[in-house]
Amino acid sequence: MSFISFDFLIFLPLVFLGYWFLFGRNLKVQNLFVVTVSYVFYGWWSPTFLLLIFITSACSYASGLLIERVRRTATESNRTAWWISAANVAVNIGILGVYKYYDFFAASLADLFALAGIRLSIRSLNLILPVGISFYTFQALSYTIDVYRKKLQACKDPVVFFAFISFFPQLVAGPIERATSLLPQFRQKRTFDYTAAADGCRQILWGFFKKMVIADNCGKLVDEIYAGYDTMNSSTLALGMIYFTFQSYCDFSGYSDIAIGTARLFGIRLMRNFNFPNFSRDIAEFWRRWHISLNTWWRDYIYFPLGGSRCSTIKRVRNTAAIFLISALWHGGNWTFIAWGVYHILLFLPLLLLHRNRRFTGPVAEGRSLPTWVETGQMLRTFLLVAFGRIFFRSETIGQAFSYIGRMFSPSLLEAPSRLSLILLAAIGLMTALEWYNRDEQHGLSRTTRWPTALRIGTYWGLLLFIYFFAGQTENFIYFQF
C-alpha cells in the first residue's frame, strides 16, 4: 500500500482508531495489532512478499536468543555466537542478493567471459524485487550484530520483535531504525500526545507536498526529457538534471516526512532521515545530511569495523571508497550506480586527504537570516556537483549518461519553460524558502506554530490546494525499487 493512495487514506484513520480506542489498554494486544496491520499494509502489494519479511524476522529473532543462550552455556561462547550471527547475516544477505543482484552479476559474468571469446549461458531469474527488502533486511541485521556485540539484550517477546521489524510507517523505505531506539518503544506503554500528533500531521502535510507536487511532477518532466534526450537542446537537458535532483530529494525525504509524522500519531518517534541536504556547503556535509539512517548504518557496521578514520591514510581512503561502492551497489545491480559511486569517491577524497571533511558540522548561516555570498556559492557548487552525478544515477546505461552529458554541454538555443515547469519552479521556490526558514528544525513546517493563526491556517490550506490542483499521478516512490 502506498502512502499516497486512496487505500491509505482509509487505512490510516481506521488503524489510528483501533490502535488507541480498541486496543490501547493492553500493550501486548496493541503490539499484536501493530504487527497485523503492518502485514496487511505490506501484503497489499503482493501477499507473497510477506513470506520473505516473516523469514527475515523469524531468523533474526531466533539468532538473538541463540546468541544469548550459547553465551550462558557454551565453553567457546564467542566463537559459537559469531557463527550464529554470521549464519543469520548470510541468510538475510543471501535472500537480498538473489532478488536484487543475481541477474546483474550473472549478466556481468557472461559479458566478462564473452571478452575472452567464451560464450557462457547463465539463466536470468527475472525476479520481482520485493518492496523495501533492503530497508527491513538492514534493520534486522543491525539487531543481530548489536546482540552479538553485547550492545543490546536479545528480545524475548516475538510480538515486540515482529513489530520492530514490520512497523508499517517505516517498513518499505525507512528510516532504518536501530533496535536500541525502536524496540524499547514497543516495550513501553504509549499514551496519546496531542502536541506530538499535531506536529506529526504538519510533517505528513509537508511530505505530501514535496512528494505529490514537486517529486511527481519533476518525475513526469524527467521521464519525457530522458526519453528524447538525443533530440533536445542543452538548456532542456540541464533542467532535466536539476529536476531529477529535486525529484530524488522530494520523493525520498517526502516519504521520510510522511513516515516520521505517521509514527508520531501512534506515539512512536523515528530518527531523522534528512537534514536539509540542499543547504550543504561541501560534499562531506551533504552525505551527513542525506539519508542519515543508512549512512550511519554504513558508518557503524562497515566503516568503523574496517578501522574508520583512526588508521593510515591509505586505509582511510580504502574505507571511504568501500562505503561509497557498497552504497552504490545497495541502490541496485547496474553499472550506472557504480559510476555514480566512483564519482562521489572522487569528490570526497580531496576533502578527506586535506582533513577538511569535518569542516562544516553546524547549521549554515547560524544566527543569521541569510547566508553570506561565500556560503551561497558553496551551497550552489555542492548542489550542482550532486546534480551532475545524478545523471549517472538516472541513466539506464553508462553510454546514455555520457551521451546526455555531451549533449548538455553542446551549444544550443535556450527554450522557454513550459507551464508545468513554471508551476514546478514556483513550488520548488516555496519549498526552498520554507526549508531555509526551518533549517535548524525537524521539518519545513516546524516553525509555523509561532505564526499568527490566520497565516498558519492559510499556509496549510495553501499547501492542500497546491496538492489538490497540481499533484502528479505517480503512486510509487523512487526508493521502493531499492
* Residues with a known catalytic role: 331
Tracing cell 557472461 back to the chain, one arrives at: 110
Sequence-ordered list of residues with C-beta below 8 angstroms from that of 96, at least 6 positions apart, any chain:
133, 134, 137
Closest CA to 270 of 191, 173, 336, 143: 173
Sequence-ordered list of residues with C-beta below 8 angstroms from that of 190, at least 6 positions apart, any chain:
24, 30, 266, 267, 268
Closest CA to 250 of 424, 442, 453, 370: 424
The answer to whether 232 and 210 have CB atoms below 8 angstroms apart is no
User: Can you give the chain as a three-state secondary structure string?
Assistant: CCCCCHHHHHHHHHHHHHHHHHCCCCHHHHHHHHHHHHHHHHHCCCCCHHHHHHHHHHHHHHHHHHHHHHHHHCCCHHHHHHHHHHHHHHHHHHHHHHHHHHHHHHHHHHHHHHHCCCCCCCCCCCCCCCCCHHHHHHHHHHHHHHHHCCCCCCCCCHHHHHHHHHCHHHCCCCCCCCHHHHHHHHHCCCCCCHHHHHHHHHHHHHHHHHHHHHHHHHHHHHHHHHHCHHHCCHHHHHHHHHHHHHHHHHHHHHHHHHHHHHHHHCCCCCCCCCCCHHHCCCHHHHHHHCCHHHHHHHHHHHHCCCCCCCCCHHHHHHHHHHHHHHHHHHCCCCHHHHHHHHHHHHHHHHHHHCCCCCCCCCCCCCCCCCCCHHHHHHHHHHHHHHHHHHHHHHCCCHHHHHHHHHHHCCCCCCCCCCHHHHHHHHHHHHHHHHHHHCCCCCCCCHHHHHCCHHHHHHHHHHHHHHHHHHCCCCCCCHHHHC
Left, alpha or beta for 308 (phi > 0: left; psi -120 to 50: alpha)?
left
Tracing cell 520473505 back to the chain, one arrives at: 52
